[in-house]
Amino acid sequence: DSGVTQTPKHLITATGQRVTLRCSPRSGDLSVYWYQQSLDQGLQFLIQYYNGEERAKGNILERFSAQQFPDLHSELNLSSLELGDSALYFCASSVLASDTQYFGPGTRLTVL
Amino acid sequence: AQRVTQPEKLLSVFKGAPVELKCNYSYSGSPELFWYVQYSRQRLQLLLRHISRESIKGFTADLNKGETSFHLKKPFAQEEDSAMYYCALSGWGRSGQNFVFGPGTRLSVLP
């Protein structure tokens, strides 16, 4: 599959814990975006990286951080987890910094 | 503040009927607008963007800056059009570029 991949598919953890979500962009794409989709807030843009550098920041909490590595994969770190962090987390990628975004299948995070 | 609204959570139409999915936005500059679609058990994917002015799967959308709208239209709905549709905006704010999605409209095309 040459599309955007995300691991894991599902993650169940407890409040106060820390998790890492991983995203591999499409081959050739330099930009990675992270979104959070919850029932009450819809799809919220968190952060964008372009070629390893942070390019845009949305509604990302201070407890969350992300990075893009030299091989262009990205990780989203969520710490001090709260019940309200339970959501679907999507990654998307694009060739350029402002371009059509291709979405991954998402990681479903459940915080108990 | 940048905002995208989609007033209908659910829209049901019969096959062959025209369909219009409404989208309104608030943005002080010139936004870039998109429609994304998510079919059952599939990923979110781009349907169309206003700058390309393409017609995809029979859908069109016209940016009306006066009414700040970007409604999605199709003259004859097909059952395979049943899906979740999201209107989205890309614009610039104080903290850089931002991507704002509407809450989505679930389109159900009845046989």
Q: pLDDT by residue (tens digit) across A1-15? A: 569 999 999 999 999
Q: How confident is the model at residue B103 (pLDDT cuts 50, 70, 90)?
A: very high
The residue of chain B with its CA nearest to that of A58 is B98
Rounded Cα gap, residues B74 and B104, in angstroms: 17
A109 pLDDT higher than 90: yes
Q: What is the pLDDT of residues A24-80, one digit of tens each?
A: 999 999 999 999 998 877 889 999 999 999 999 998 999 999 999 999 999 999 999
What is the rounded radius of gyration, in angstroms, for the C-alpha atoms of chain B? 14
Distance (Å) from the alpha carbon of A61 to chain B's nearest alpha carbon = 14
Distance (Å) from the alpha carbon of B91 to chain A's nearest alpha carbon = 10
Task: Name the H helices within chain A.
Answer: none
* pLDDT, position B107: 97
Answer yes or no: are the C-beta atoms of A13 and A19 closer than 8 Å.
Answer: yes
* pLDDT, position B28: 82
* pLDDT, position A2: 67
Q: What is the pLDDT of residues B38-91, one digit of tens each?
A: 999 889 999 998 877 777 889 999 889 889 999 999 999 999 999 999 999 988
- Cβ-Cβ contacts under 8 Å, B98 against chain A: 45, 56, 58
Distance (Å) from the alpha carbon of B15 to chain A's nearest alpha carbon = 28
* pLDDT, position B78: 97
Task: Please name the amino acid found at residue A105.
Answer: P
- Within 10 angstroms of residue A34's Cβ, the number of other Cβ atoms is 24
